[in-house]
Chain A
Amino acid sequence: MSELLRRYGAPLTATFAALTAFWLLALVVLPYLYLFENSFRPYLPVVDVGGPKDVYSLDNYLTFFESPIHIKVFFWTIIYSSIVTVLCFAIAYPLAYYLSKVAKSAVVPTLFLLLLIPLWVSEILRSFAWFIILALKGPLNYGLLGLGIIDQPVRWLSGFRSIIIGLVYTYVLFMLFPLYNAIQSLDTNQIEAAEDLGSPWWRTHWRVILPHSKPGIASGAVTVFMLSAGSILVPTLLASTTSRWFTEIIQQWMFESQDWNTGSAYAFLLMLLCTVFVTVMMRVFRVSLADIAK
């Protein structure tokens, strides 16, 4: 702060601080507080708001625990988000290793650009693109049929398949970048030392590179998992009648039932339960928050 003051003077520094404070308080904290407060109040006709019936209770939260179907959707969301996370790791790890240790440093920026360009296209457009690719008579089935890999077109847009594909595609880079950073910080001599001591490539990965990348894996996994579980666009656009995502239920409460109170309660429940799940997973894999912050 004193550094800022010295460099920009009092008026500019005050403006910066005020703008940041406005963004944080008015645009982030206040809306959350509003929803949080609402989540404890009943959904009432406008005339009753503020009346004797408008009292705080946990009823909105209990609604969730009394609806087996919502609990089931929640678990499917958690399970499929975990699958998405694992798939993202499986795709991103070899790629990150290649980019950080194998590829010639001159071509790395180009490769990164190629990876980033799709990110410039909006998520909605990308999801629509997948909708077209995955359609029953779409290019993917056409290609697979043409190559003779399948003899019947696959219904990609049924069940959770299309959601998994869409989410992996959308969030894989959030796994790639922390992994890339982690692997790149490993001294290449250690990889060579392992090989020199007779280690086959898979053991070098298992004993040297993976343990070193753990913080990167953890931060990538948390990001991908949280983004997947909280994603609304991909599940809405690529879902079928048999796949429901928890965020869709929140959306239904809010926009179809116009019940913002229960919707808020569900949203906070999702956040809370996901946080619990992530914390448990971090315990299981012995990662601490400090590791991730690195």
Chain B
Amino acid sequence: MSAGVELANVCADFGNFRAVDRVNVTIKAGEFFSFLGPSGCGKTTILRMVSGFIDPSEGEIKIGDQPMQGIRPNKRPTALIFQNLALFPLMPVWENISFGLEVRGVDKKTRRDKAEELLRLVDLPGAADKAISQLSGGQKQRVAIARALAVEPKVMLLDEPLSALDLKLRQHMRAELRAIQKRTNVTFIYITHDQGEALAMSDRVGVMSQGKLQQVAVPQEIYNHPANGFVASFVGENNIFTGQIESMNGSTALFRTNSGTFRASLGPGVTTATSAKLYVRPEQTRLVEAPPPGANSIPVEVTDVAFEGNFINIQARNGDGRTLVVETRNDGSTAVPPPGSRLTVVFDAEHAVILADETAASPGRAA
């Protein structure tokens, strides 16, 4: 039992400040959807509008085709997991979990049974009578999830719930959250500034910047085909070149920069008139001794090599003094160039993309 969420032209203003600017997105029932963006991009405001703590200044929010305007949070079919979890410290675990049922007038026995059942679901059996203060960070997390699930929400809203956990636990809880979502089939709307989290967990990701939705797509699409410069630089690493489009030829173009002129693919909506940059991911570049003729190439000197185990991260400087990052997979016999080696960075035109700095209007209708 889950419901989709539709945001139509949603805006949120705080005084003169527009925190959320004309956001259009349709989140499908049962989907794991993430809003990804830096802090202050408006993603938490979206969550608070969906849960009902803030009314949109403009636009409309529908949950399962029901307009939500004027409906208080306690009447919405949503459950919010707060960044700091906001468990009730004076109630034992099971009362925390069954609080939503207590509110609905469910008798004590049923409440207790339901709490035990949910504790098993979140893999925390036997914790019913513990005090919140006795739990570890990860256990509190699970109790918060159980408490939200107890009210059988159609939409679950999660506000960076993993940010307080250490790396190991965070990775574990990612998988756990994903599994719980698949098991319960509730629509999850997840807020995060952590691109790894968003990419690893979500069915689809909406990347936000300055109140605007920049791109909505499946994780691979976000990473491999970013819609604009913001998405490209926020998600994953990039070597970024400023310059001008010299000539266009179908889906490719020649892009002139201080480091040379390169053949590259054109990003969505890019014309000679748009202010654009060239983006090349470190793992799409190679270091070679002699570049093949006609390839995009930049002669460099290796300055720093970081051997990370599964891959090798190489920093190199070109004639202009700008630093390029090259990333190579370690297949067990990959040569590690020593710092000071003079080599050439090469990359394919299909993996170098020219992107507009930021799309002016919200992409809209991205479903």
Contact = CB atoms under 8 A, between A and B. Distances in A.
A197 B86 contact: no
Contacts, number: 59
Q: Is the interface of A mostly helix, strand, loop or mixed?
A: helix
Contacts of B147: 197
A208 B88 contact: yes
Nearest to A193: B86
Nearest to A200: B74
B82 A198 contact: no
Given A195-B73, A196-B78, A187 B84 contact: yes
Interface in B72-91: 72-75, 78-80, 82, 84, 86-88, 90-91
A199 interface: yes
Interface in B89-109: 90-91, 99-100, 102-104
Nearest to A189: B86
Given A200-B103, A203-B103, A207-B99, A195 B86 contact: no
A190 B79 CA distance: 13
A161 interface: no
B6 to A, nearest CB: 20
B297 interface: no
Contact of A190 (B72, B88, B104): B88
A199 B88 contact: no
- Output the residue of A189, A196, A207 with the most chain B CB within 10 A: A196
Nearest to B52: A196
Contacts of A101: none
Interface residues of A, number: 17
A200 B102 CA distance: 11
B84 A196 contact: no
Given A195-B72, A198-B100, A189 B90 contact: no
A198 B86 contact: no
B55 to A, nearest CB: 15
B151 interface: yes
B151 to A, nearest CB: 6
Nearest to B147: A197
A197 B100 contact: yes
B307 interface: no
Given A190-B88, A192-B53, A212-B90, A199 B82 contact: no
B80 to A, nearest CB: 5
Contact of A196 (B79, B88, B90): B79
A194 interface: yes
B74 A189 contact: no
B272 to A, nearest CB: 50
Given A197-B100, A198-B104, A192 B86 contact: yes
Given A189-B84, A190-B86, A190-B88, A196 B104 contact: no
Contacts of A187: 84, 86
A122 to B, nearest CB: 41
Interface string B60-78: 0000000000001111001
B285 interface: no
B73 A192 contact: yes
A196 B51 contact: yes
Interface in A185-239: 187, 189-190, 192-200, 203, 207-208, 211-212
Nearest to A188: B86
Contact of A199 (B52, B74, B79, B148): B74
A195 B102 CA distance: 13
A110 B104 CA distance: 40
Contacts of A208: 88
Interface string B140-153: 00000001101100
B90 A211 contact: yes
A115 B72 CA distance: 32
A67 B165 CA distance: 68
A48 B142 CA distance: 79
Contacts of B52: 196
A212 B132 CA distance: 14
A198 B80 contact: no
Contacts of B100: 197-199
A199 B84 CA distance: 19
Contacts of A207: 88, 91, 99, 102
A212 B91 CA distance: 11
Contacts of B78: 196
Interface string A281-292: 000000000000
Given A211-B90, A212-B90, A197 B84 contact: no
B99 A194 contact: yes
B74 A192 contact: no
Contacts of B104: 198
Nearest to A214: B90
Contacts of A203: 103
Given A192-B86, A193-B87, 12 more contacts: A189-B82, A190-B86, A193-B82, A194-B99, A195-B73, A197-B151, A200-B103, A207-B88, A207-B91, A208-B88, A211-B90, A212-B90
12 contacts: A187-B86, A189-B86, A190-B86, A193-B82, A193-B86, A194-B88, A195-B72, A196-B78, A196-B79, A199-B74, A199-B103, A207-B102
Interface of A: 187, 189-190, 192-200, 203, 207-208, 211-212
